[in-house]
Structure 1
Amino acid sequence: MKSMEQTTKIISKEAEYLRALYQDWSDRMEANPNMTIADFRSLFDEWEKPTFEPEDVTYKTDKVGGVDVIWAYPIGCDKSKVLIYTHGGGFAVGSSTSHRKLAGHMAKALGVSSVVLDYRRSPENPFPAQLEDAAAVYKALLASGIKAKDIGTIGDSAGGNLAIASVLKFRELGLELPGAVIAFSPWLDMELTGSTLESNAATDALITVPLLQGMIGMFFGDDSTKARNPFANPLHADFNGFPPLYINAGGVEMLLDDARRLHARATEAGVQATLSVVDGMQHVFPCLAGRAPEADEEVSRIAAWYQALQK
């Protein structure tokens, strides 16, 4: 299926904001090697900074299926269609607050509502608590009368993993599957075998192998055998019958190979899969929505892809 490598010869000044923010985080983590989980969470809650507040979007704090959430409601949106947004942050950091603006931009572009999950985080709640929360929200939405085909899962980084793995969980539970899946810079490979972990190490301002290893340790606790579990590492999953899938990644990020391998695995299984890689962009560059043209153009491409599915 479709694969796009967007080449940008000159990175916009606005897009540089994200690289600088990530470098600041990296410097602060290096300066404080004994950073507590509370400190990590405070640091990563700054993930909302690159995203400009979307116009004409309202928000509502709620609880769905027992899970704390923030709804994003663009003015005039179709509330019968919902994006379930699972935030990034290595399953341990990030929140609905750090990602509500990005979810708002996506909902507005697609003309739907979005619900951003505050799923249980590791290390207090290791795998598979996050998937259980996603399934609880999905079942609650179905029970409310929203049709499966009108629900999409979406997420970034570890949340991109959850956006994919949750659909695999829905299938195991015998539920009708959602109509679309969108993954930004998904972190999928818990075995850390991707080639770009090495080749893009000098250009990725945030990700390091030790950072990923620390997140894996918190996610799995003492059981490293889970690294090949398809619900934790979807690169080992069976994608037959999977919904249409849109994957994107930045060209300079270390997790680029995860996105490419996911696209290959899904395509081999006959999934309608699209991969968009934008040269020069960092991890989860769509969080620059409203600020940088590269992000806004990507959001527009996703909206066009989604509208084509509705026909």
Structure 2
Amino acid sequence: MLQQLLETALRQTMNRLVRPMLHPAIPVPVQRRIIRQAYRSSFPPRGARFEETTLATVPATRATFGSDSRGAVLYLHGGGYIIGSSATHRGITGHLAKTSGCTVLTPDYRLAPEHPFPAALDDAEACWLALLEAGFRPEQIAVAGDSAGGGLALALAMRLRDRGQPLPSSLTVFSPWVDLTQEHLYAPEREPVLQAAWTSKAARLYAGDTPLSHPLVSPIFGDLGDLPPMLIQAGSEEILLNDAERLARKAAEADGDLRLEVYNSLWHVFQVHSGQLDRATAAMSRAGEHIRRHLAD
């Protein structure tokens, strides 16, 4: 009963405070400031530690939990490629550090509209190469991300594969945004977080002069073969549910190793409420299990 009440309260908070801020009429700099404050309700677990660092030339935050680390997770934050940062995602990355047993590194990749595609992807690739130069083997590194960061994680794996580079041990994507054309958005009865008009604006700002259907902008239009094992999590109350389900179908058609988990009555990137909402905590535990299972010793 208490968890049901908490779900209702969190849903109402997202709908009344976060969703109105994700409106295309609000300037991007204002949205960045407001969303930074909104993420204060996402708490890392007690005992998580954070340290500012740099990967290549990209500022980043290192999250750890406990004294031992099995490997590294390169975590790419969401925010429609126009907002968000490693600071806003300390809650989610702190919990992922706990459940995965890994060091989680979250880069502050360059954002649009100041830096349109392929700036974010170039930064993600530079961070991947920096981890290799630091001594991690590819099979000791997982890549994860939420929303736009989930799409960016896929684009990174596709670029590495196409360039003949070693691939990460696994991919974990929460509510991935993989089709920026928005031609197949889901229409849930309620959507507590996202507005289609806002994501449409963010897509245009990010893509710039590049077609929205470019496979490294919208990975659903690319070749999903020969990618690492993938875990996809999404909520049933989000306009990106079709993105997750289409991604799973297309990856399966390419004989990919994947698992899709849809959480009924939950919303976009509900994992930010790990440690508060039991189902979010359970989802994060499954994400950590997926990462641990595919890491090399």
Report the TM-score, using the length of structure 2 for normalisation: 0.94
Answer yes or no: is 1:26 the counterpart of 2:19: yes
Partner-residue secondary structure (3-state), 2:265: coil
Q: CA–CA distance in 1 between the matches of 2:9 and 2:33?
A: 19
What SS does the aligned partner of 2:180 have? coil
Among residues 31, 50, 53, which one is paired with 1:40 in the alignment? 31
Match of 1:15?
7
**How large is the RMSD of aligned CA atoms in angstroms?**
1.9
Partner residue of 2:272? 287
Q: Deviations over 1:161-188 (max 9, x none)?
A: 1111111122233210000100000011
What CA distance in whole angstroms lies between the structure 1 residues aligned with 2:3 and 2:266? Answer: 8
Q: CA deviation at 1:11?
A: 6.4
- Select 1:204's aligned residue among 185, 191, 200: 191
Query: Map of 1:1-311 to 2, 5 A cutoff?
Result: 12-23=4-15, 24-28=17-21, 34-78=25-69, 81-196=71-186, 199-200=187-188, 202-221=189-208, 223=209, 226-310=211-295
Which amino acid in structure 1 is aligned with residue 42 of structure 2? T
Deviations 1:8-53 (A, max 9, x none): x9962223344233221233456xx642221010122135234222
| Identity rate, percent | 30
Distance 1:67 1:29, change over 3 A: closer
Unaligned runs of 5+ in 1: 1-8
**2: CA distance, partners of 1:153 / 1:16:** 32
Instruction: Output the CA distance in 2 between the equivalents of 1:279 and 1:11.
Output: 14
In structure 2, what is the equivalent of residue 3 of structure 1? Answer: none
Shift in Å, 1:95: 0.7
Secondary structure at 2:71's aligned position in 1? Answer: strand
- Secondary structure in structure 1 of the residue aligned to 2:5: coil
Distance 1:17 1:141 in 2: 40
Distance 2:193 2:292 in 1: 33
SS in 1 for 2:60: strand
Tell me, yes or no, if the aligned pair for 2:161 and 2:227 is still in contact at 8 Å: no
- For residues 182-214 of structure 1, the C-alpha deviation after alignment (integer angstroms, 9 at most, x for no partner) is 000001111112251xx21x4111222211111
What TM-score, normalized to structure 1? 0.90
Q: Indicate conservation of the 8 Å contact 2:43/2:90, yes or no.
A: no
Using the alignment, how far apart are the partners of 2:47 and 2:22 within structure 1?
36
Query: Which structure 1 residue ranges, 4+ long, deviate > 6 Å from structure 2?
Result: none
Alpha-carbon distance between aligned partners in 2 of 1:290 and 1:229, rounded to the nearest angstrom: 37
Q: 1:46 to 1:77 in 2, by over 3 A?
A: farther
